Amino acid sequence: MTRKVPMGAAALILAAGEGTRMRSSLPKVAHRILGVPLVRYVLDAAYDAGCGRVVVVTGHGAELVESLLGGETCVRQERQRGTGHAVMCAEAALAGVTGSLVVLSGDAPLLQASTIARLVEARETSGAAAVVLTTSLHDPTGYGRIVRDDAGALSAIVEHRDLGPAQLGIAEVNTGTYCFDAEVLFEHLHRLGTANAQGEYYLTDMIALLRAEGLTIAGIATGEPEETLGVNTRVQLAEAAKVLQRRINREHMLGGVTMTDPDLVWIAPSVGLGRDVVLEPMTTLMGATSVGDGCVLGPDTRVTDSTIAPRATIDSSIVVGAVVGEDACVGPRAYLRPGTVLEAHAKAGTSVEIKNSVIGEGSKVPHLSYIGDAAVGKGVNIGAGTITCNYDGQRKHRTQIGDGAFIGSDTMLVAPVSIGEGAMTGAGSAIAQDVPAGALGIERCDQKNVDGWVAFKKAGQGSDDQ
């Protein structure tokens, strides 16, 4: 359980950079892990930590990034003139903020809410003007280094390009995550200059500046070192995805979920899983999905934006925007599309596609069928190869099937059409008219049997061969 920061704390997320090394037409923070844009992870961590107010600085691809953030407060940084300049752009949007202001990078999706809370707590208990989240790396190349005075106190951050020869060996780096006293930050922000290797306004220069004013600066270390991995390349994007996968899967396993091979199971952060769920390899659960107790999903299964009730089984199937009832059975190789409701104990079996339809309690669609825009009652059996012909080329039409009906194999149900309670259709029929309750609907040519045909045919072929 994450410890919350006092609700007064605000957060600023810097997300205006282009991300040149992604080699992409998308802005870096719009790239996704498990379906969620990078910047969204940072935003959620800030809210989960208890930050009451969050502002995001956008720039490259601003319209797209802002659309991914819904109604969040965004400010534009038209030209990217450095992290210090990005904070200056947010000054008006943060007017009136007092107390703690957390500054985060939009490209660091692994930072945990508990670490943000720890950072705020460290500042509020020490009364420091700023607290920097630091970590030590075997290879600190590219990072800003933490410079400490003889007493060990944090006195400056020096960017890699601006390091003196004696500072090159410093392993402790700036993670780009800070908590400032908001009033102190904005009081001094405009004193930042651009006298550095990149000619930018560095937020990192605030540390030496505040120290020179006699203010206290503190540093705290990250929990796990990988937490501060910034995504600059697609290689790092995959690395960050792997860390998130492990973190999410571990939580679910500790919560009572069995995974035969957790490396082959991908679960989005928004997915909820009950106890004694079993996830077989190559199972992917995305979006707003919830899975009830005792379900068995996979192998080779993808479930997106769906609700799966307890004890359902889904084998080698795709389920999107659907509701699967208790003890229902899906697959192998079924495709449940948006608007499908499979009620309790129902079955959608082998190579069955269902869209925008309710399949009533205990009803079965076991093999090779397409059911679209249909309301199927309880205890219905739908024979192999049945198709609802729901589309006339211009409009979609509905099919109704009453409780207890029996649809013969290879029935074409030409919608709009209604099959009454307990009615039957003959195998191979194209049913274009309603069938009353209890009746048999059959549409079929009379069968002819030609006696002796097989022998006659064989004899004919035999003479051809010689």
| DSSP label at residue 36 | E
Contact residues for Mg ion (CB under 5 A)?
230
Kindly state the smallest distance separating residue 310's Cβ from ligand UD1, in Å. 42
Of 216 and 233, which has the nearer Cβ to Mg ion?
233
Residue 16 binds ligand UD1 (CB under 6 A): yes
Contact 146, 159 (CB under 8 A): no
| Degrees, nearest 5: CA angle 392-393-396 | 55
Helix ranges, 368-450 (H): none
Active site residues: 367
CA-wise closest residue to 387 among 413, 405, 406: 413
DSSP secondary structure of 332-375: SS-EE-TT-EE-TT-EEEET-EEES-EE-TT-EEEES-EEESEE
Q: Which of 22, 107, 306, 342 forms a contact with ligand UD1 (CB under 6 A)?
A: 107
The item of Mg ion, ligand UD1, none sharing an interface with residue 83, based on CB under 5 to 8 Å by kind, is ligand UD1
Instruction: Give buried/exposed letters for 306-345 (b at 16+ CB in 10 A, else e).
Output: bbbbbbbbbbbbbbbbbbbbbbbbbbeebbbbebbbbbbb
The item of Mg ion, ligand UD1, none sharing an interface with residue 353, based on CB under 5 to 8 Å by kind, is none
CA-wise closest residue to 16 among 86, 118, 73, 69: 86
Q: Which of 41, 143, 180, 370 forms a contact with ligand UD1 (CB under 6 A)?
A: 143
Cα 179 to Cα 9: distance, rounded to the nearest angstrom: 9
The item of ligand UD1, Mg ion, none sharing an interface with residue 143, based on CB under 5 to 8 Å by kind, is ligand UD1
Residue 134 binds ligand UD1 (CB under 6 A): no
Residue 159 binds ligand UD1 (CB under 6 A): yes
Residue 40 binds ligand UD1 (CB under 6 A): no
Contact 110, 229 (CB under 8 A): yes
Contact 243, 261 (CB under 8 A): no
Residue 377 binds ligand UD1 (CB under 6 A): no
Kindly state the smallest distance separating residue 213's Cβ from ligand UD1, in Å. 20
Candidate ranges 199-207, 327-335, 361-369, 427-435; the one touching ligand UD1 (CB under 6 A) = 199-207
Of 230 and 372, which has the nearer Cβ to ligand UD1?
230
**Chain residues in the site for ligand UD1 (CB under 6 A):** 14-17, 57, 59, 77, 80-83, 85-86, 105-107, 143-144, 157, 159, 173-176, 202-204, 230
